A and B are shown apart, each in its own frame.
Chain A
């Protein structure tokens, strides 16, 4: 990690500490914290981490963007930061200048498709678009004949049917019928729905790694403070071993997400090596999310289950994020099919390829 990486991580951490601290959000009881946090993130260029400077972005690297998402995950804040980063990334791939403001992307589910007609209007209905009803614009991948294009659409021109994720974030159905995009550019070779889906899964893996780190820190601190039977519960071996397991799950998510970010940064296409990394990271981070959320709650006892405590801000988001951009099961079937097709003797060469 060099100094510029550190600066981005430190800046992100400071902004979330000051304006997105979970306890402050819980205490506020409303959304008044959202605008100041978002504006500050935007001013610092963090919402455009994946956009090159000639297209309006901060000109930071791929790994920087994943670092921002992991740190944001440590605060488990309900803002469309990952979605805006992904939209900026998608628009930049099409060479479209990226506007300020919160954005999302579509489509996000396999099978969903958007079309662009010769008259310049979009058509198609896509499901479970994160934060669609809470953002200004959506960056989409659409098909015009045989061609794939990147387009930028104002959400005011779409019909949005509200849906909710487990953690209460918008997960909306968006109908693009008749909407005319603000910009349309051809997508580069190899950029398709599968690539966008992989990038989304990678973003969620980083967020999960960050949230698990948050739960680990909070659970360790709580175990050191909370007294029972005359001593801090962290002195009981049963609790120590639970926290050690949480440490292991957190470590697995951090390692998987970090390895994946590095692989995407070093790749110029979404090839099989990237697929293996994305699938492994989303599966393993998703498993860690389930196990880690469970341990976090067990360590905290009853208080962790209450509305006033911050723990649920983390665990509910983990339960949502592991679902979005492909659950463990979805990715595992795809990965298993690939491994089987290559054959038993290719397993080790594939696993040890980097």
Chain B
């Protein structure tokens, strides 16, 4: 069983490497033009419509989607390159990233034609931000215990209940939300949930309350639905069967470069601070972290290459997210140790400290969002034949 684990040594195709050159040049120009500053973006919420629209104008949002909906029909490996280049330099992609990664693909698969024609081109142009309505006050990782409900009424559905920890809700044009449409059955507790597209800006009965992080940042929200009405065309896929939909494309979501690059800026900054001839302790510390980073990335590229080749690396994808998020979470701690003896007067010491403080405070969430470490280890254990 276990020996099924496989990581093909993937080489990115020439068109992806050509695209990388283009993306780097674009990012360099935008930094020079002052659109964003890689040393300060990590400490903001990374939300910039201006930047997202520029990325959209380049054709780099929804780039794998069909041309009829505004996409470019490019490969997943090309999208991978765009994503990793943006993450590695802390570009402010928040306004379009969720829609690009997961909401758009869900709409492509499950939304009625009129919705696809209306919404997808707006995602592509960088004008449409999405949030994900999954967790609820009493259900986090236990997704299938969701209680917020949708009731069939004339011409549509009426929504009631609340979602929490909803990142981006205060910015988003749309939510893709999971609502209970029937009770779970005795033999399938995952039955009875349905996905809906919710217009967050033009629907009565939706209240968004901010929930601030411990460092004061505003990312999370509580979203309360009180008799909010949405039309029939906003039903996504099959009634009561969202659980099969929600588990598709998980490997893409789990193995993306955003799953290990979230705190990379701390490593870059400590290398800068340590200078071009570090002492042996520092060199060893840098070397280990770079080896781990390099291996993580090769694993992530491998999973994405196998997906592009039509294979199904579910187990490998879950392993990559489990390893990657734990790595990016631990990174600020390792950088802190490496920074311990750096001269207080070193050129970028203040910037390093500031970034490190920030990374230390956000690190705990990295192994919680998008599937906790415990859930992922359960999935890996299942893949190994233990459950």
Residues of A within 8 A of B (CB): 1, 74, 213, 216-217, 220, 223-224, 234-235, 237, 239-241, 243-245, 247-248, 250-252, 254-256, 258-259, 261-263, 276-277, 279-281, 283-284, 287, 328-329, 331-337, 339-341, 343-345, 347-348, 351-352, 354
Contacts and interface: CB of A to CB of B under 8 A. Distances in A.
B384 A339 contact: no
A143 B2 CA distance: 47
Q: Which one of A220, A281, A334, A340 has the highest number of Cβ atoms from chain B below 10 Å of its Cβ?
A: A340
Interface stretch (B199-207, B214-222, B286-294): B286-294
Interface in B1-43: 1-3, 5-9, 11-12, 20
Nearest to B296: A252
Contact of B12 (A328, A339, A354): A354
B274 A250 contact: no
A183 to B, nearest CB: 35
A102 B195 CA distance: 64
Contacts of B378: 237, 240-241, 244
A244 B287 CA distance: 26
A277 B297 CA distance: 12
Given A340-B271, A341-B276, A344-B271, A217 B2 contact: yes
Contacts of A336: 278, 282-288, 290
A15 to B, nearest CB: 17
Residue from A216, A240, A339 having most chain B Cβ neighbours under 10 A: A339
A339 B287 contact: yes
A160 B283 CA distance: 36
A247 B277 contact: no
Contacts of B84: 352
B7 A258 contact: yes
User: Main SS of chain B's interface residues?
Assistant: helix
Contacts of B296: 252
Nearest 5 CB-CB pairs, A to B?
A: A332-B287, A336-B287, A336-B283, A262-B9, A335-B287
Contacts of A339: 271, 286-287, 290
B45 interface: no
A232 B287 CA distance: 41
Given A240-B387, A245-B377, A332-B285, 5 more contacts: A262-B9, A277-B294, A332-B288, A340-B286, A348-B89
Given A224-B385, A280-B294, A352-B297, A258 B288 contact: no
A139 B272 CA distance: 43
Contact of A283 (B267, B268, B287): B287
A22 B381 CA distance: 25
Interface string B172-203: 00000000000000000000000000000000
B380 interface: yes
A328 B288 contact: yes
Given A220-B1, A243-B384, A347 B322 contact: no
